[in-house]
């Protein structure tokens, strides 16, 4: 068995939907039931990577890694198991510094737990307390990039800025290990430790609920050159610069084909991580440039 962590860095608004919603947004994104945090279900991650790898792997390799086609699904399971894509960093508009990558102790602790599941052990520790949440709510930061006087102002909410040395350590580790290994990300790697912000858990949850991107869509009546009656709807998307992570666990191939039956877990992970995939598309509205993410694999080599 071999294990890895896949990071997804959102480069264009990403809509991984749930179908028609009952709230104010017609087409909401997938969310965790217990926390309301945005997520992408494992089946969507697996299906999209499988489709992307069809042009890279031979058919027998593809079936060994992801499982056979539907009509032969009972033959054997795929060797690669996917977790859901969970939220680690969420971008929020800031009065100073343009935007902040916000997270919470809860989100960091969840990441630490899932990183241990795939044999990855960050050099930083999860803080044992959280920022003050009631009166004079705190935002833990590193340096002055997000400070407006002695405050951190995110959207229309103000927090008392508190410098914490551990923020720099967490930010530097994420910059080197979670952000894509592409030259165009050098600026963002430098910026992350300065723009990382740990918020009270309730504040972080509220931003992930109400600070997503909502797009309005219409359908045209081409004869009249007007909007069709009732053809107005809204869709929700994860904003650009969101960071998600996906645990990956690879077992020995279950295929009986001579060319693939001896693939071990490490071989299976290499089929994916060494395929040269730097970017991929997830979710809906692909033809309008939505859902592009940059990939980074950690471990499993």
230: pLDDT strictly greater than 70: no
Q: What is the mean pLDDT of residues 141-158?
A: 95
pLDDT grade for 156, boundaries at 50, 70 and 90: very high
Per-residue pLDDT of 40-55, as tens digits, reads 999 999 999 999 998 8
Tell me the C-alpha distance between 168 and 95, whole Å. Answer: 21
Q: How far apart are CA 14 and CA 19, in angstroms?
A: 15
Mean pLDDT for all residues in the chain: 91
pLDDT at 212: 95
The whole-number average pLDDT for the span 95-116 is 97
* pLDDT given for residue 134 in this prediction: 84
Q: Mean pLDDT highest for which of 102-106, 129-133, 265-269?
A: 102-106
Mean pLDDT comparison of 16-25, 199-208, 226-235, 292-301, highest-scoring range: 199-208
Kindly indicate the confidence band of residue 18, based on its pLDDT and cuts at 50, 70 and 90: confident
For the chain, the residue count is 301
Percentage with pLDDT > 90 across the chain: 65
């Amino acid at each position: 068995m071999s294990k890895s962590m896949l990071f997804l860095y959102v480069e264009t608004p990403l809509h991984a939907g749930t179908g028609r919603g009952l709230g104010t947004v017609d087409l909401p994104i997938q969310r965790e039931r217990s926390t309301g945090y945005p997520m992408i279900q494992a089946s969507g991650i697996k299906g999209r990577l499988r489709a992307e790898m069809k042009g890279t792997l031979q058919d027998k390799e593809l079936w060994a890694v992801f499982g056979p086609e539907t009509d032969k699904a009972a033959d054997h399971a795929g060797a690669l198991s996917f977790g859901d894509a969970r939220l680690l960093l969420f971008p929020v508009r800031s009065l100073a510094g343009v935007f902040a990558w916000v997270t919470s102790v809860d989100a960091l602790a969840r990441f630490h737990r899932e990183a241990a599941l795939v044999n990855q052990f960050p050099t930083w520790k999860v803080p044992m307390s959280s920022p003050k949440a009631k009166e004079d709510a705190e935002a833990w930061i590193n340096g002055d990039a997000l400070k407006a006087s002695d405050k951190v102002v995110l959207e229309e909410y103000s927090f008392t800025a508190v410098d914490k040395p551990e923020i720099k350590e967490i930010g530097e580790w994420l910059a080197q290990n979670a952000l894509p290994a592409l030259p165009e990300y050098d600026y963002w790697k430098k910026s992350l430790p300065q723009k990382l912000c740990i918020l009270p858990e309730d504040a972080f949850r509220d931003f992930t609920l109400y600070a997503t991107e909502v797009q309005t869509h219409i359908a045209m009546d081409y004869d009249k050159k007007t909007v069709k009656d009732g053809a107005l709807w809204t869709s929700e998307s994860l904003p650009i610069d969101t960071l998600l992570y996906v645990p990956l666990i690879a077992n020995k191939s279950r295929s009986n084909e001579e060319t693939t039956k001896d693939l071990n877990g490490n071989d299976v992970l290499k089929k994916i991580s060494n395929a040269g995939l730097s970017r991929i598309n997830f979710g809906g509205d692909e033809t309008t440039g939505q859902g592009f993410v940059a990939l980074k694999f950690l471990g499993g080599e």
